[in-house]
Amino acid sequence: MIRLGLRLTLNGGREAAVRLVIIAAAVALGVGLLLTSLAGINAVKTQNAKYGWSNSAFSSATAAGATTPARGPAHSRDPLWWLGSADFFGNQTITRVDLAATGPTSPVPPGIPHLPGPGQYYASPSLAALLRSAPAGQLAGRFPGHLIGTIGPAALPSPNSLAVIVGHTASTLAHTPGAVRVYQIFTTPPNGCTGSMCIIGTGINPNGMDLILGAVAIALLFPVLIFIATATRLAAARREQRFAAMRLVGAIPKQISVISAVESTVAAAVGVAAGFGLFFVLRPPLARLPFTGAPFFTSDLSLNLVDILAVVIAVPVAAAVVARLALRRVQISPLGVTRRVTPRPPRAWRVIPLLAGLAELGYFVIIGRPATTNGQFDAFVPGFLLIMTGLIIAGPWLTMAGARLMAQRARRPGALIAARRLADNPRAAFRAVSGLVLALFVTTVSVAAITSYVAYNGVARVKAGEANVLDIGLTGGPGPAPASKSTVRVPNALVARLDSIPGVETVVVTHNDPFNIKIPASELGVPANFGSVPTGLVVCHQLPRIDGHCPAGAQVVAIPEAGIQFRAKHSTSRMVLPAAPISVQRLQDIPAQSISVQTNGSAAAIEQARTILDVAYPAYAPGVTGSDIQAVNTRLTRAYEQLADVMILASLPIAGCTLAVSVVGGLTDRKRPFSLLRLTGAPFGMLRRVVALESAVPLLVVAVVSTGMGFLAAELFLQAQLGYSIKPPGAEYYGIVAAGLAASLGIIAATFPLLNRITGPEVARNE
């Protein structure tokens, strides 16, 4: 029977060949999208993991179970002196690592062949290009020595990543504040990396990434699998008639099942092979799209062995199972296809899985979310999976309810015929729009969750003046170290050099406050429980360039020591600041806690001043502007928004393909009944209305339920996970939904020319 099935599939005439090609093409498209989705998820994980090596100082300390790195059994014998920091150029983050070997076995970071020596450094290709194009005083002057090579992809999250590895002598870094000894290079991003040993703005915490990617996987894979299942059911009615005829001439049910499985498996296997080819064709252009805010390396869009085996095995097996299930009427009776026995109507119990998914999410609203990431994944992902499954299960029942309502209100023959056809087989009618229903659910949850997250955690936009001020803190060491009293004195020559830069308007040195002057938090718009804000001292004639006002007769005043990031959120420009009991001359003898360079906003002035400060104070975090800080703070939110965009932009086209295949397949299966209607005098316009209503009614009815479930699921998730209430989405959400529904109706309308061609009188002949 297998050979007979192959012969009927491959040599069954023009009709069999066309059916094989169409099913294989549809499966190829679905498999290509499925492989792209899997590779995209793998690429996001790989990209995030490549940030981990730059935080090896923190990872080493964590692995040793101490606050400072210690030697462990798996560590190198010769430690590596390590100083990591984040630099900036034009609001782009530069990952900088200064290091020095202490022996021949010192560990080597990924992406470079060997450690750089003193006066040498490696740069990423994008940074090397910037070094060649930017004036040396704005960028190259920050890195001592000369470029000896480029950093390879193994250490770079993205082709446009900016990174530099600078070599020093061990004696130099050993006496540099903030430098630590590293015995091992870590290649996975640390969980909850905080403190001076972490580089700001590098990667997404894996605790959140795992949960997000779990949701992305469900959102992408569900519609793709539905599309593949729909594709394998093309020409189902015609196949049922052919198999029923075989039953009449003596074929037993088992033989029919084998032939059907062979036909579906062959088409699916051909489609899987073509799908892999489609994936490799799409991979290079997709790698250039910044799904996470940065493009991928093409090699990172890869598939592991489990992904490949799952697709190669599961898709043909699923096709065979779907074909077997489609023959239930033929298996019951050979004449059942001709009689068209109406299947049992769906029952109300179909809404139980949908309600169970909502109840599962609501349970964690009451008891609280689990503490661990794995626990949160196990808690929320099954809930969303239940809701999506529940929408598929409940869809036929909702379709039948809509059909009965339409039949009660029908005033024209087309509406009545469509309602009767929907009620006759609501499962088939809903199957055509099931992918779009899931896409609307995914879109609603994604937009509602991201909109609410941004509303609660949105980054305050810096004031225009703060965006032009370059700040460098001189307390603690590199990175966001806890504030402490500075011991650094700023020479007048450095101030004069900064003042001489074209575009620099003034240089403000903020000194330690020996008088411990406090500014009430209430005056800054800070919650009262903050008490008072620590201050630093500045010369009064410099103050108008920064924020606030001096009282009459004062020479020195106190300002909040928190710097630009604080002033960006809490305006001090209208304040009359407290005077300090010290003269300008005595103030020069007090160590400085920060330097602020007020510029006219030109990139050349900001970068040249930053380069001078980086060279003067290499042990401290590089100077930053308000726009630099805003760029870092928005990167994580933007990454989540990009992932939400991927879910929306991927699920809607997949759903559109499912709808197109279903509608075309439905027309092909119904061409003879429609041609008979035309022979009896039914106008073609009425047939168009029947087709439109048969697709539009289940779409609109279940779409309302799907979007409502999306808002409710997002509310339950936000309440359980973050304690937030949902915020109404903006106009873009309603535009996406309207565009999706309009595109769906357009797909339905696009089939009308095909309907006209396949319902001619010649189709109605007896066979």
CA dist 148 and 637 (Å) reads: 36
Which residue, chain included where needed, has tokens 């955690």?
457
Q: Is 204 exposed, middle or buried (0-12, 13-18, 19+ CB in 10 A)?
A: buried
Distances (CA, A) of 436 to 388, 698, 702, 732: 12, 11, 10, 18
Q: Coil, helix or strand for 98?
A: strand
Residue 729 burial (CB count, 10 A): 21
Q: Is 733 left (phi over 0), alpha (psi -120 to 50) or beta?
A: alpha
207-216 per-position pLDDT tens digit = 555 555 566 6
Compute the 3-state secondary structure of the chain and give helix, strand, coil in percent, each to the nearest 5. Answer: 60, 10, 30
* Phi, then psi, of 582 in degrees rounded to 5: -155, 150
Element at 253 (helix H, strand E): helix 253-287
What is the spatial distance between Cα 687 and Cα 675, in angstroms, rounded to a whole number?
10
Q: Which residues of the chain register pLDDT less than 50? A: 64-74, 332, 338, 478-483, 564-566, 568-569, 767
Q: Look at residue 483 in the predicted model and tell me its pLDDT.
A: 46
* Confidence (pLDDT) at 564: 45
Tell me the pairing of strands 146-150 and 120-123.
parallel
CA distance 244 to 325: 15
Closest CA to 178 of 476, 477, 473: 477
What is the rounded CA–CA span in Å between residue 42 and residue 209? 12
Residues 6+ apart with CB under 8 A from 288: 295
| Radius of gyration (C-alpha) of the chain in whole angstroms | 33
Q: Are 593 and 475 in contact (CB under 8 A)?
A: yes
N residues, the chain: 767
Identify whether the C-beta of residue 511 lies closer than 8 Å to the C-beta of residue 489: no
C-alpha 318: how far from chain center: 29
Q: Is 165 helix (H, G, I), strand (E, B) or coil?
A: strand
**15 token code pair:** 């009709």
Structure tokens that stand for 106 in this block? 């010192």
| Residue 67, pLDDT score | 41
DSSP letter for 514, please.
T
- How far apart CA 174 and CA 81 sit, in angstroms, is 7
Residues 706-749 pLDDT 10s: 888 989 988 988 888 878 888 888 777 788 778 777 877 787 77
Q: CB-based contacts of 12: which residues, under 8 Å, 6+ apart?
A: none
* Residue 609 confidence (pLDDT): 93
94: three-class secondary structure by DSSP: strand
- Rounded CA separation 17/23 (Å): 10
